[in-house]
Amino acid sequence: MNLPRISKRLSSAASLVRDGVRIADIGTDHAYLPIYLYLSSKVSGGVVSDINQGPVDRARANLCDYGCEDAFVAQRADGLDGVLAHGVEDIFILGMGGELIASIIENEPEIKNEKYSLVLQPMTHPEILRKYLGHNGFEIDCELIVEEDKIYQIMRARYTGRVSEYSLLELNFGARNLEKPTPELFALMKRTRAVYCERVKGKALSGVDTSQENEMIEKIDKFLSEYLGE
């Protein structure tokens, strides 16, 4: 059977899964990622879930269409509620805000176990998610930046119990990404810089303090100057 076509973002997230594990796809929309991984013999099955019934129904239909209905449970669930009971080990939480991803992790105390691997892709506020992970004993062991229709940040984390503190650039762009800069990182930095410059203009007109924005711009400029001479 043909594999479902998945985006570059999902393909990059899929590359972070461990072989042979059971997975959970939290906030699934169509279950294409789990189907792709299962039919590629990368995973042994698992759970797809969403807080709304519509995505669960779509996922269940696609699982049946691809002959994967016996490998995955499709269920309606709020975050990780009831998910770990299905023996999953690698957990995907993709396409949500960084604050929401952090709250989903926070609301499941059992996730603080080194056997679980979390593959996370925040649509907004990656700095909030990284700060949460660092302060709550989760080590980020891999990070990717993927450019498609947008620029996405993907990270993999597991619980170690060790607290980590990140710098401003590390919170926003990822310590591991900064260690090995890529064209995608530079593009993300330039887009972020442009956003902060617009904020400075808006705040300056209103007489609001812009020190935080200026600090970010200065740090981005310094990094780009070191690597690109800009």
Tens digits of pLDDT across the chain (230 residues): 689 999 999 999 999 999 999 999 999 989 999 999 999 999 999 999 999 999 999 999 999 999 999 999 999 999 999 999 999 999 999 999 999 999 999 999 999 999 999 999 999 999 999 999 999 999 999 999 999 999 999 999 999 999 999 999 999 999 999 999 999 999 999 999 999 999 999 888 888 889 999 999 999 999 999 998 76
Residues 158 and 188 occupy one common structural domain: no
Report helix angle 32-39 to 53-65, nearest 10. Answer: 30
Helix boundaries (H) for the chain = 8-14, 32-39, 53-65, 98-106, 126-135, 168-173, 175-179, 183-206, 211-228
Whether residues 46 and 150 fall in one domain: yes
Q: Do both 34 and 118 map to the same domain?
A: yes
Total number of domains in the chain: 2
On whether the CB atoms of residues 111 and 105 are closer than 8 A, the answer is: yes
pLDDT tens digits for 154-191?
Answer: 999 999 999 999 999 999 999 999 999 999 999 999 99
- The reported pLDDT for the residue numbered 230 is 67
Please tell me the predicted confidence (pLDDT) of residue 94. 98
Domain membership of residue 1 (yes or no) is no
Q: Enter the pTM of the model.
A: 0.95
Burial pattern 67-84, b for ≥16 Cβ within 10 A else e, equals ebeebbbbbebebbbebb
Report d(CA 87, CA 44) in Å as an integer: 11
At 219 the pLDDT is 97
Q: Does a structural domain hold residue 172? A: no
Please give the mean pLDDT across all residues of the chain: 96
**Exposed, middle or buried by CB within 10 Å (0-12, 13-18, 19+), for 111?**
buried
Here the tokens at position 76 are 């309606």
Residue 39 within any structural domain of the chain: yes
Contact 191, 224 (CB under 8 A): no
Residue 170, pLDDT score: 98
Q: Give the integer Cα–Cα distance in Å for 113 and 137.
A: 10
Same structural domain, 147 and 59: yes
Supply the pLDDT for residue 229. 79
In a shared domain, residues 70 and 95: yes
Q: What is the CA radius of gyration of the chain?
A: 19
Does residue 56 sit in the same domain as residue 155? yes
CA distances from 164 to 62, 117, 125, 188 (A): 40, 17, 18, 24
First to last CA, the chain: 50
Domain that holds residue 198: 183-228
CB atoms within 10 A of CB 115: 10
Q: Look up the CATH number of the domain holding residue 96.
A: 3.40.50.150
Tokens at 13, concatenated = 């997230």
